[in-house]
Amino acid sequence: MALGEPYDLRGKRVYVAGHRGMVGSAIVRRLAREDCTIVTATRSDLDLGDQNAVRTWFAANKPDAVFLAAAKVGGILANDSFPADFLYDNLMIEANIIEAAHRSAVEKLMFLGSSCIYPKFAPQPISEDSLLSGPLEPTNEWYAIAKIAGIKLCQAYRRQHGRDFISAMPTNLYGPGDNFDLASSHVLPALIRKAHEAKQSGAASIEIWGTGTPRREFLHVDDLADACVFLMKQYSQDEHINVGSGEDLPILELAQLVAEVVGFTGGITTNPDRPDGTPRKLMSGEKLREMGWRPRITLRQGIADAYRAFLATQPDA
């Protein structure tokens, strides 16, 4: 595969948009090993939904490279409950940053999306060319449409203006800095909290949403951050690229693994009144594997790490 000229991060000013989030903070940790200057802006310094503010900030701060990891994110229930926020906020953030990056001649930009961009019944493992080949999963189509628009913005600025803007699509992520709030979180942090609290209270069982049969692929956020830096240096193509672990498992098995790591020995019940979402979304990681990148953190190690991070946020731990 033609990879384009490697991009050298040395001596560059690198803006991480969304540095307080799980993904952005992992990218900042990973970039600390590169010889570059990390640039960030807090929410009170810069409202990413404000086009004028974003343009002014870029003109003043002149980043050479941008990781676009800022987004409104959430689990299946949050996505389903707040479609306007997930669509509007994400469209505004990505449109403002990508346009401002073009205006201030940013050398390289990476946009981060999600595996939910693919059709609900895409052939598995899902390759990059499945994009826009069928209807989306209804619980997260608003978020998916915003993320598809982000990919298209990068492609459009590349085609019309010759900008080196690329897109990476991570699978379901977890790790330190995750959201452990049961109403808005993704499944893995929710299961950690449920198992931990059940262990503390001596509850007989924990409940998982849906039937427990949907399969998901999980990647530790530190592996994602490593892939992002790798791709920033090595990848320069129009097409988005998948970033996953290459393995998936049913949610019920995930719950059993989390219970083991947390040390909860009670039962696990399912609640089919809650949505399952898409039945399976295992991505093909072939394109990235061919380039020579591999994840390093196993799911069991990663869950142990996420549990430690959760405990550190608990006042009584």
* Residue 143 falls in the annotated catalytic set: yes
The one catalytic residue among 15, 143, 174, 235 = 143
Q: Which of 155, 185, 237, 245 binds ligand GFB (CB under 6 A)?
A: 185
Size of the site for ligand GFB (CB under 6 A): 23
Segment contacting ligand GFB by CB under 6 A, of 1-9, 53-61, 183-191, 286-294: 183-191
Segment contacting ligand GFB by CB under 6 A, of 4-12, 180-188, 256-264, 287-295: 180-188
Closest residue to ligand GFB using C-beta atoms: 75
116 binds ligand GFB (CB under 6 A): yes
Find the shortest distance in angstroms from Cβ 282 to ligand GFB. Answer: 12
Nearer to ligand GFB by Cβ, of 87 and 208: the residue is 208
Q: How many degrees, rounded to 5, is the angle at CA 227 between CA 223 and CA 232?
A: 150
Residue among 3, 45, 42, 277 at smallest CA distance from 138: 277
48 vs 96: CA distance, rounded Å: 7
Residues, the chain, total? 317
> What spatial distance separates the first Cα and last Cα of the chain, rounded to whole Å?
49
Residue 72 near residue 90, CB atoms below 8 Å: yes
219 binds ligand GFB (CB under 6 A): no
What are the two backbone dihedrals, phi and then psi, of residue 49, each rounded to the nearest 5 degrees?
A: -85, -5
Segment contacting ligand GFB by CB under 6 A, of 149-157, 179-187, 257-265, 301-309: 179-187
Segment contacting ligand GFB by CB under 6 A, of 7-15, 202-210, 218-226, 303-311: 202-210
Nearer to ligand GFB by Cβ, of 99 and 121: the residue is 121
Residue among 228, 233, 241, 291 at smallest CA distance from 2: 291
Helix axes 83-103, 141-161, angle to 10 degrees: 10
Residue 222 near residue 30, CB atoms below 8 Å: yes
Contacts with ligand GFB by CB under 6 A lie at 75-76, 79, 114, 116, 139-140, 143, 172, 185-187, 190, 208-210, 214, 216, 251, 274-277
